[in-house]
Chains A and B, each alone.
Chain A
Amino acid sequence: MSRIACFVEKYNFSDPREEAALQNFKAAAEKSGSQFSFLFRENIQDIPNYDAVFIRATTDPLFTSYIVSKTAWELGKKVIDDPESIKICANKIHQYALFEKHNIPRIPTVFLSKDDLRHKKITEIFDTLGKPVVIKAPYTSFSRYVEKAACETSFREVAKRFFKKSDVLAIQKFTPTAFDWRVGVLGNDILYVCKYMIPKGKWKHGAKLRGKPTVIWGRTVSVQKKDMPPRLREVALKACSVIGKGLYGVDIKEVNGEYVVVEVNDNPSIYAGYEDQMDPDIYQRIISHLSA
């Protein structure tokens, strides 16, 4: 019998769809004879008592979730998300550098260092990528810290804000599409396929309404795995292969018949009735992976 700890923070229970997904994981584990306990930050020292750790709290090398992941890893436990995946996925500079090295089809991207924020460099970027461009902080998640800039003034304003935390940023070609493919991958195999629709009049899946702090999200349309375009499958698996063998959500855009990777996320969102709609077995598959 495998004992699985699911590391969560309080916010993981604030959305009923996420809470339902967490209960689905628990039910799937118990059905297969495993123990499944929620592990909160005050009980981190209990990690040695478990066989596997499944992280659902947001991951980043600077968050408690990394301490949990690395502790479990050092103690020889099975862990999703593993520290190497967190290290690569939580830093888009790392990820895009690997994509370039391994020739993964991707959105045209250049890196900008803090010392390089000069008129000549910004002009060069606009000449290469066109206007507007998308400025992405390496630590982006849930569509945050990704902003558009169409002129040098707004470019400098956004970049200066993002440079407060990271000394290098990613600048990407603005590539609007009606939706992003979201491909769930586990251990080099496709877990689920969705379309993350872009809200009307917006350019990213999660967008703020003008002047308001609320984020609106586009619909999630679940797609049967058998209907997945073969090239989409190939690109998604290839992108994950340069990162690791964990659980990932790959964002891919379809541009002129080509599939280009936007990013690979560790710790992908799993909401009941959304990512699992066509593939209700995803809970069981993730639990089996952890208890294998």
Chain B
Amino acid sequence: MLVVSSIGLCDDLHAVKPAVFLESSIKDTTINLTNDYRYLKTGYYVSLHAEVLGSQVIPSCENIIDASRTPILLLRAQKANIPTVPFLVTDNVKKIIKEVGLPVVVFAVNPFIHEGYKVAKNQSALYRAMKSLGMNYKFTVCAQPLRGELNTVKSVFGKTELADEQISAISQKVYELFRIPLCKLHVQKAEDKAFLCGLEPLKETELSKADLKLISKEIMLISQQGNHIGV
């Protein structure tokens, strides 16, 4: 099993740097570790290179793209029975107010903004959110009703440090579906239930020592289980 990593891992873990991997033709089950899996960035090209070589790799290019496009993340999550709330893709403020209502959480769906969301509790806040995330109303956004409290959790191979069972279960299921080893998840809790809202890249500085230890542990586990990465 090959670990390609752009982040400094614990000493017990042998990993190849992305630049070295991209120049190589090493064909092996590959775990691509980076805090940033955005499309067109090095993390994407690592998975692409592994796929073209014919290797099993996590995450796959398809999952990298789909997980970062909020409407597709939610659609595929729904199909996999991961709780979500209804969402609307639009560039029209009035339509959001009519069909989703307020308060609302809005995610960008455009080529330029890769992270972040905005919560709007009234119409003028929604106009501001749409103006900023839709880049002057040029692009659509993905709007979801905000029914409770929005939580952001780190997911390391599907594990979260949060004690909330429902959020942990969502994190695990999202990992099983998309196999993104490192990411942040936005989950809302309403009426004692948790609902997936979005996923975004981690900043490298957000990875703690405990996270790095957890990465080592998870990779050891995959190795002990015969390099089964669930692809």
Asked if A pairs with B, the answer is: yes
**What is A's interface to B at a CB cutoff of 8 Å?**
41-42, 44-45, 60-64, 66-67, 70-71, 74, 83-84, 87, 91, 93-94, 97-98, 101, 111, 113-116, 138-139, 165-168
B195 at the interface (CB under 8 A from A): no
Asked whether A67 lies within 8 Å of B95 as measured between CB atoms, the reply is: no
User: In the complex, which residues of chain A have a beta carbon less than 8 angstroms from the beta carbon of B48?
Assistant: 91, 93-94, 97
B69 at the interface (CB under 8 A from A): yes
Asked whether A62 lies within 8 Å of B89 as measured between CB atoms, the reply is: no
- Whole-angstrom CA separation of A60 from B75 in the bound complex: 19
- Whole-angstrom CA separation of A67 from B140 in the bound complex: 11
Give the contacting residue for A61; candidates B39, B49, B90, B139; CB below 8 A: B39
Give the contacting residue for B72; candidates A60, A67, A101; CB below 8 A: A67
Asked whether A97 lies within 8 Å of B72 as measured between CB atoms, the reply is: no
Asked whether B65 lies within 8 Å of A66 as measured between CB atoms, the reply is: yes
- Whole-angstrom CA separation of A83 from B60 in the bound complex: 14
**What is B's interface to A at a CB cutoff of 8 Å?**
19, 22, 39-42, 45, 48-49, 52, 61-62, 65-66, 69, 71-72, 75-76, 79, 88-92, 95, 109-111, 139-140
Asked whether A98 lies within 8 Å of B72 as measured between CB atoms, the reply is: no
- Whole-angstrom CA separation of A95 from B39 in the bound complex: 15
Asked whether A74 lies within 8 Å of B79 as measured between CB atoms, the reply is: yes
User: In the complex, which residues of chain B have a beta carbon less than 8 angstroms from the beta carbon of A41?
Assistant: 89-91, 140
User: In the complex, which residues of chain A have a beta carbon less than 8 angstroms from the beta carbon of B65?
Assistant: 61, 66, 87
A276 nearest CB across to chain B (Å): 31
User: In the complex, which residues of chain A have a beta carbon less than 8 angstroms from the beta carbon of B110?
Assistant: 62
Q: A71-B75, A94-B52, A116-B19 are in contact. Are A165 and B40 (CB under 8 A)?
A: yes
- Whole-angstrom CA separation of A115 from B20 in the bound complex: 11
Using CB atoms, name the residue of chain A closest to B61: A87
User: In the complex, which residues of chain A have a beta carbon less than 8 angstroms from the beta carbon of B90?
Assistant: 41-42, 44
User: In the complex, which residues of chain B have a beta carbon less than 8 angstroms from the beta carbon of A71?
Assistant: 71-72, 75
User: In the complex, which residues of chain A have a beta carbon less than 8 angstroms from the beta carbon of B52?
Assistant: 94, 97-98, 101
B111 nearest CB across to chain A (Å): 4
Asked whether A168 lies within 8 Å of B91 as measured between CB atoms, the reply is: no
- Whole-angstrom CA separation of A292 from B221 in the bound complex: 47
Q: A67-B69, A97-B49 are in contact. Are A166 and B95 (CB under 8 A)?
A: no
Asked whether B40 lies within 8 Å of A166 as measured between CB atoms, the reply is: yes
Give the contacting residue for B22; candidates A70, A91, A113; CB below 8 A: A113
Q: A60-B111, A71-B71 are in contact. Are A42 and B91 (CB under 8 A)?
A: yes
- Whole-angstrom CA separation of A98 from B39 in the bound complex: 18
The A contact surface, by secondary structure, is helix
User: In the complex, which residues of chain B have a beta carbon less than 8 angstroms from the beta carbon of A74?
Assistant: 72, 75-76, 79
Using CB atoms, name the residue of chain B closest to A64: B140
Using CB atoms, name the residue of chain B closest to A96: B52
- Whole-angstrom CA separation of A90 from B164 in the bound complex: 40
B178 nearest CB across to chain A (Å): 13
Using CB atoms, name the residue of chain A closest to B92: A42
Asked whether B40 lies within 8 Å of A67 as measured between CB atoms, the reply is: no
User: In the complex, which residues of chain A have a beta carbon less than 8 angstroms from the beta carbon of B88?
Assistant: 45
Q: A67-B109, A113-B22, A115-B19 are in contact. Are A167 and B41 (CB under 8 A)?
A: yes
Q: A64-B140, A67-B69, A98-B52 are in contact. Are A167 and B40 (CB under 8 A)?
A: yes
Using CB atoms, name the residue of chain A closest to B17: A115
Using CB atoms, name the residue of chain A closest to B43: A167
Q: A42-B95, A71-B71, A101-B52 are in contact. Are A168 and B45 (CB under 8 A)?
A: yes
Asked whether B66 lies within 8 Å of A70 as measured between CB atoms, the reply is: yes
Give the contacting residue for A167; candidates B42, B62, B69; CB below 8 A: B42
Using CB atoms, name the residue of chain A closest to B88: A45
User: In the complex, which residues of chain B have a beta carbon less than 8 angstroms from the beta carbon of A139?
Assistant: 40
Using CB atoms, name the residue of chain A closest to B64: A61
Asked whether A45 lies within 8 Å of B89 as measured between CB atoms, the reply is: yes
B107 nearest CB across to chain A (Å): 12
- Whole-angstrom CA separation of A20 from B91 in the bound complex: 27
User: In the complex, which residues of chain B have a beta carbon less than 8 angstroms from the beta carbon of A61?
Assistant: 39, 65, 69
Asked whether A113 lies within 8 Å of B42 as measured between CB atoms, the reply is: yes
Asked whether A62 lies within 8 Å of B111 as measured between CB atoms, the reply is: yes
Using CB atoms, name the residue of chain B closest to A116: B19
Counting from the closest, the 5 A-B pairs by CB-CB distance are A62-B111, A166-B40, A97-B52, A167-B42, A61-B65
Using CB atoms, name the residue of chain A closest to B75: A74
B49 nearest CB across to chain A (Å): 7
- Whole-angstrom CA separation of A114 from B6 in the bound complex: 14
Give the contacting residue for B45; candidates A44, A70, A93, A116; CB below 8 A: A93
Using CB atoms, name the residue of chain A closest to B52: A97
User: In the complex, which residues of chain B have a beta carbon less than 8 angstroms from the beta carbon of A114?
Assistant: 42
A101 nearest CB across to chain B (Å): 6
- Whole-angstrom CA separation of A42 from B94 in the bound complex: 11
B161 nearest CB across to chain A (Å): 30
Using CB atoms, name the residue of chain A closest to B95: A42
- Whole-angstrom CA separation of A63 from B91 in the bound complex: 14
